Structure 1
Amino acid sequence: MPVDLSYSPEVLDLLERTRTFIRDVVLPLENRHSGDIVAAGGDDLRRDLNAQAKELGIYAPHAPVEFGGLGLNMSDRSPIFTAAGYSTFGPAALNLGAPDEGNVHMLAHIASPTQKDRYLEPLCKGDIRSAFAMTEPAPGAGSDPNALRTSAVRAPGGWRINGVKRFITGADGAGMWIIMARTRGEPGDRGGATMFLAPGDAEGISVDRYVHTYDRGMIGGHCEVTFTDVFVPDEDVLGEVDEGYRYAQVRLGPARMTHVMRWMGVAERARDIALDYVATREGFGGRLGDLGMIQQMVADTEIDLAATRALLAAACYELDRGEHASNSTSIAKTFGAEAYSRILDRSIQMCGGLGVSDDLPLARLANEVRAFRIYDGPSEVHRWALAKRAVGKARKQLEAGVRHV
């Protein structure tokens, strides 16, 4: 029986309404402010765009229906997130950007009913933003989560958290925090982490500085944050104590795929800009789009987009079936992140001088997608994990007497 890759009429209608909103409302705002969402109005702009998206019935397609979202599964989210990502302001406009989207997904699956009422509902409705505090300065946790140094120790009625985090997206102005802290063992030990919830104004949380990066499409920056004796009551432990890494997997795989979806929109936009240019620009006795070298770049871009969509569809299929999808999400994330960089580079090259100028958005869009080769795990870490699993599987097969010769 063939796998059905079609979308329902309801999803297709949502897709068309999303595309129209992004094209007519969001994209002009982004272009007017050169992709800097803070300069465009930050949270005030977000709230205004959220209100318009709600009126159009396209708001929070991923969030649970009971909290104001549309409740789409991973496969149905894909074209909608891509359409939103066509503008770097689009994810914020529909409340489906990082880290909020991933936090919504995790809270919906793990949080207690009381935690959902306190944290998930206002996050889904756009009343607050959130931050996921995991990454630390060296020698703390980064691509190696076992290096976690932020600690949580027992206190009467709860826990006290101390530590420093870095590259925490959306930290400035966050209305709630998910904090990963060590509750067992020492840095370097496997496991022993717990996730904690805290309101944005919890005593002892200090947003110390912005770590300035290439990308400008997020609100709240990528920040360095200090936690000093932050008290978290027992009822705000997210999931079970010492099981934070296991619970984090609920978030990580889907969040990687929604990143692939959103940045797919950026890559498609770059492709469209380049095609508009080479289809009309004349030189060397004809149009650039008729030249073999240009046609090869166009074809390679179409191949990169098609391959990424196929890998994304396979990963979302596995996730929707309740599988961990560790391999498929790593493959789709790694290939997509690198494909998008290739697409932006080709698009700039095809547009010549305009490509590196402010007359087109390509150069700043290239900065946006470049970060994806690092965010949610560098390509090298995903390759290492894929190879480790493949070699481990081969060893087990050999031990069982299975040989492939």
Structure 2
Amino acid sequence: MPEDNNGVVVAGLDLSGVVTRLAAAAPAADAAASFPHEGIRIVHEAGLLELTVAERYGGRDLSLGDLARLAAALGRGDPSVALISLMTLFSHRHQAQSSPWPDALYERVLAEGRQRPVLLNAARGEPELGSPARGGLPRTLARRTPGGWSIGGTKRFVTGCEGLSYFLVWASTDETPQRVGTFIVPGGAPGIGITGTWASLGLRASGSHDVVFDGVEVGRDNVIGLAGADVAGQDNRAQAVNTLVVTALYLGVAEAAQEAFLAFAEGRVPANLGYPIARTERFVALAGEIDLLVSGARQLILGALDHAAGEPDKLLRARLLAGRQLRQAVQLAVSALGNPGLSRDTGLERHFRDIQSVLVHAPQEDTVIAILGRAAFSARTAATAAGKERAQIAAAPDGRAFADRLLPAQTPFQGTPRTLRIT
């Protein structure tokens, strides 16, 4: 359950009202699989879309742990809104860390954000490429023009694309030698087409459709991170932080499911029992098991981000373990209630669908496991090599065998010339 008993508090902000309003608007957007305009408006009016803007731009520069707490809070209300919001928050955090955006353009983005919701997101995946986390270069092409660049290609799974103010399009150039970079494309530019291909089981309102860029013109400075094609691949370890923060929004989904389970158990009074099923040993045990899984996942996520943000392998482990626990907790809650657990009336049906996406974000589960497996073998190889080196030193001639021992203190006559007299 949330860390604060009186509401959802993140970085001193009480978000309980925001979460309640998001939860009220979420079912309609989910049922219609439509862009969550109301939810985004709520988040914008609360000033949450710019919380990771750097202090040098007048922002708060939210910490990683608090960003995850924010994701969990929004996920309790509407995970689709949470995911769309996180994509924007990640972009601002990237700017806070390394300032890749042209200054004038970024200042304009911040100015627009004071008037209306300004949503940003990277467009990286492609039909032929799949997920960049598995390697490969984009087929989307940026061609040189007299005024800048012309972008052409198709991107997949562009979350929130119907409401984006700027697409951050990963593309290859037509230069020789070829380079790869991210091109900043205004959402209203001519030549952008959105195809309604998003028909997912969960996060239906996230609108992660395909987007076609047909000769979209951008200025010559609307590009960041241009690098040679040989060094342009995605570093999955470098993405471990963002991936774990995304997992936190599903912590919010599981907490909402946990609350729905408890509310149903407290309100359900069978005629043959005469008191709420929450007082039966079975439901007490189920509530404890769900709490163990959900609260344990919260500890894993926040503990890793608060104390091990610079250790990618720990973040990746926390992501997998927490994701599995959250999915298991919601499954347990749904199966315990039977038919009511699958009904829209309790809300658990929507939470069950949404939680299925917890481990599909790149890098996917099998990729992460392979990373951890290779790291385990590398660590063992390094340990074996170090052990052999120690053994060789120990077996060396006396001078080396005892090189690491302290020599006894020398007497005053040691090291002085000696004369041998024979009579």
TM-score interval, normalised by the smaller of the two chains: 0.7 to 0.9
What is the DSSP-based 3-state SS (H/G/I as helix, E as strand, rest coil) of the residue aligned with 1:206? strand
Contact 2:79 2:250 in 1 (8 A): no
What is the DSSP-based 3-state SS (H/G/I as helix, E as strand, rest coil) of the residue aligned with 1:298? helix
Q: 1:53 aligns with which of 25, 46, 59?
A: 46
Q: 1:17 aligns with which of 14, 19, 26?
A: 14
What is the correspondence of 1:83-98 to structure 2 with a 5 Å cutoff? 83-88=73-78, 91=81, 97-98=85-86
Q: 1:26 aligns with which of 22, 27, 47?
A: 22
AA at the equivalent of 1:311: L
Matched, 1:107 2:98: no
Contact 1:140 1:148 in 2 (8 A): no
Distance in 2 separating the partners of 1:125 and 1:144: 39
Distance in 1 separating the partners of 2:390 and 2:200: 47
Distance in 1 separating the partners of 2:32 and 2:389: 56
Contact 1:197 1:232 in 2 (8 A): yes
Contact 1:69 1:124 in 2 (8 A): no
Question: After superposition, what is the alpha-carbon deviation per residue over 1:202-258, rounded to whole angstroms, capped at 9, x for unaligned?
Answer: 343322333211234645x111122233344331221343365468976x3333232
Q: 1:147 to 1:404 in 2, by over 3 A?
A: farther
Name 1:81's counterpart in structure 2.
71
Offset, 1:165: 1.4
Deviates more, 1:351-360 or 1:103-112: 103-112
Q: 1:340 to 1:89 in 2, by over 3 A?
A: closer
Question: For the aligned residues, what is the CA RMSD?
Answer: 3.7
Q: 1:87 to 1:377 in 2, by over 3 A?
A: same
Matched, 1:288 2:277: yes
AA at the equivalent of 1:79: R
What is the DSSP-based 3-state SS (H/G/I as helix, E as strand, rest coil) of the residue aligned with 1:343? helix
Name 2:136's counterpart in structure 1.
146
Matched, 1:316 2:302: no
What is the DSSP-based 3-state SS (H/G/I as helix, E as strand, rest coil) of the residue aligned with 1:304? helix
Q: 1:47 to 1:362 in 2, by over 3 A?
A: closer
Matched, 1:352 2:342: no
Distance in 2 separating the partners of 1:347 and 1:263: 15
What is the DSSP-based 3-state SS (H/G/I as helix, E as strand, rest coil) of the residue aligned with 2:78? coil
Offset, 1:326: 2.0
Q: 1:34 to 1:46 in 2, by over 3 A?
A: closer
Name 1:129's counterpart in structure 2.
119
Name 1:72's counterpart in structure 2.
62
- Number of corresponding residues: 379
Question: After superposition, what is the alpha-carbon deviation per residue over 1:309-334, rounded to whole angstroms, capped at 9, x for unaligned?
Answer: 222123313566xx2x3212222222
From the CA coordinates, give the structure whose radius of gyration is larger.
2
Identity over the aligned pairs, expressed in percent?
A: 18
Query: What TM-score, normalized to structure 2?
Result: 0.76
Distance in 2 separating the partners of 1:404 and 1:377: 38
Offset, 1:368: 1.2
Q: 1:246 to 1:106 in 2, by over 3 A?
A: farther
Question: After superposition, what is the alpha-carbon deviation per residue over 1:179-200, rounded to whole angstroms, capped at 9, x for unaligned?
Answer: 11234999xxxx9632221111
Name 1:202's counterpart in structure 2.
189
Distance in 1 separating the partners of 2:223 and 2:46: 33
Offset, 1:357: 1.1
Deviates more, 1:287-296 or 1:298-307: 287-296
Distance in 2 separating the partners of 1:27 and 1:140: 33
What is the correspondence of 1:110-259 to structure 2 with a 5 Å cutoff? 110-119=100-109, 122=112, 126-156=116-146, 158-183=148-173, 193-216=180-203, 218-219=205-206, 221-242=207-228, 244-245=232-233, 252-259=239-246
Contact 2:76 2:253 in 1 (8 A): yes
Contact 1:158 1:232 in 2 (8 A): yes
Question: After superposition, what is the alpha-carbon deviation per residue over 1:150-178, rounded to whole angstroms, capped at 9, x for unaligned?
Answer: 23344445444332211111122422111
Offset, 1:356: 0.8
Matched, 1:305 2:294: yes
